[in-house]
Amino acid sequence: MNIVVCVKQVPASNEARMDPVTNTLMREQVASILNPFDAFAVEEAVRLKARCAGSSVMAISMGVPSAAQTLRGVLAVGVDQAMLLTDRAFAGADTLATANTLASAIGILPQPDLILCGRMATDGDTAQVGPMLAEALGLPHVTDVAEIEQISERRAVVRKLTDDGYVRLEVPLPALLSVTKEINVPRLPSIAGVLRSWEAEVQI
């Protein structure tokens, strides 16, 4: 199974200021971390790789050059490959521009069987990029997935969180799932994983 997980680097605090000229966040002045919701997507991708023999996981991120450090962090916990999309032209991108950029990159890769995203980014709280990305790629999608109960080459059975509880849905693959924090507990990287991540190539 070919799995793609989309991750984002977000400010470690809410101290980022707005540029008075461009009205965009000045991210360079604030330390950044992996978007917390994306950590659950990364963990689920690595778990699915273990469940499905012959699977591989690629992480893709759109961001500033320092986001390569974030991608090394996901390589350290078991992701196989990482790709960073970075260009000054992406500055100030809204959710639609971000989704279209990610879709363009995914479109030149071998077609993934499954794309995983975190529910939302903590610096935007829109929960829009995942569904927009699925629409751009023409894929079925399910949001707020709390558990992937079954998965095969052709379908996945998931448990989706709703305002009234949970519903069980079957979705054909390839598909995109955005996951909630209930889905797992992200692992910490091992020393071997960290060393391996520093030797791995992050495609730019």
Q: What's phi and psi for 33, nearest 5 deg?
A: -140, 170
Q: What is the mean pLDDT of each run of 10 residues along the chain (204 residues)?
A: 93 68 64 90 97 95 90 96 94 90 94 95 84 97 97 96 96 97 96 93 94
- pTM check: above 0.75: yes
Distance CA 78, CA 186 (A): 11
Give the pLDDT of residue 27.
Answer: 56
What Rg do the C-alpha atoms of the chain give, in angstroms?
Answer: 16
Angle at 26 between CA 43 and CA 107, to 5 degrees: 45
Cα dihedral 15, 65, 185, 165 in deg (nearest 10): 70
Distance CA 11, CA 22 (A): 18
65 touches 96 (CB < 8 A): no
> Tokens 């959710």 sit at which residue?
95
Q: Coil, strand, or helix at residue 54?
A: coil
Give the pLDDT of residue 154.
Answer: 95
Q: Would you call the peptide bond into 131 cis, given omega within 30 degrees of 0 as the criterion? A: no
